[in-house]
Amino acid sequence: MKIDAVTIFPEYFAPLSLSLIGKAQESGLLEVAIHDLRSFTSDNHHSVDDTPYGGGAGMVMKPEIWGQALDPLMKPETDLIILTPAGRRFNQKMAHTLSQSEHLVFACGRYEGIDARVGQHYAAQGFRVHEVSIGDYVLGGGEVASLVMIEAITRLLPGVLGNPDSLIEESHVEEGFLEYPNYTKPAIWRDLSVPDILLSGNHGAIATWRGEQAQRRAQEQS
Ligand code: ADE
């Protein structure tokens, strides 16, 4: 998979060289390129935003600059992801769908967001355009949201996780069930014991207990 991200803060993406995503790049499973939006400006101030038509607080990111940055990245196989708190909510199902893509382009808006015509333009050109939010809160920009999505998506790529069984075990997250509680050694820590059933060696009973626990957690949080 190839990932491009366009941002005015390329340094935000430094963590992508760490851990599983860093290793996936080293082994060639994943290629990541970060592009500085300001490098596509032609004025002395390198300005990327302007006041909104119709008035109101804040600034809006200019469409021409985004066009310059995105045009060379867009290919028939590209999924363009525009991060915005007004977008469709990101979830595990979307992560699976996007993990099938060959090429993701993340457009990270700041301020009051990117001029609405940018997404409109690429959709009209026949590209797959997704306006995505990672949750019902407003971040300072799309950079952190992109990192969240990139981590959730790339760990689903074949070969990225050390133990692919983890993906099978967590599949129920998609069906609305949260994970069951996990324990490791020691069996007693600060007077708290691991549930007896987990020490029983009875795999059928353990599976049933875990299912019940996961369901209970899901009910408690809904
Ligand atoms: N930009 C600002 N807030 C955001 C959010 N919640 N999700 C995605 N992008 C954002």
Q: Is the CB of residue 82 below 6 angstroms from any atom belonging to ligand 1?
A: no
Distance CA 146, CA 108 (A): 7
Question: Given pLDDT bands bounded at 50, 70 and 90, which one contains residue 172?
Answer: low
Residues of the chain above pLDDT 90, percent: 88
Ligand 1 atom index nearest CA of 132: 8
Question: What is the pLDDT at residue 165?
Answer: 81
Question: Is the pLDDT confidence value at 178 over 80?
Answer: no
Residue 177: pLDDT band with limits 50, 70, 90? low
Q: Is 144 in the pocket of ligand 1 (CB under 6 A)?
A: no
User: Which residue among 90, 94, 139 has the greatest number of ligand 1 atoms within 8 angstroms of its CB, and so is best to mutate?
Assistant: 139
What is the per-residue DSSP string for 106-161? EEE-BTT-B-THHHHHHHHTT-EEEEEESSSS--SBHHHHHHHHHHHHHTTSTTTS
Q: What is the mean pLDDT of the chain?
A: 95
Q: Model's pTM, two decimal places? A: 0.93
18-52 pLDDT tens trace: 999 999 999 999 999 999 999 999 999 999 999 99
Whole-number pLDDT of residue 174: 63
Cα–Cα distances (Å) from 101 to 79, 88, 105, 124, 161, in that order, read: 7, 18, 11, 20, 18
The pLDDT of residue 175 = 64
pLDDT one-digit tens code per residue, 115-169: 999 999 999 999 999 999 999 999 999 999 999 999 999 999 999 998 888 787 6
Give the pLDDT score at 170.
76
**138 CB near ligand 1 (under 6 Å):** yes
For 39-43, 81-85, 175-179, 195-199, which range has the lowest pLDDT when averaged over its residues? 175-179
pLDDT above 70: residue 113? yes
Nearest residue (CA) to ligand 1, atom 4: 85
pLDDT recorded at residue 63: 98
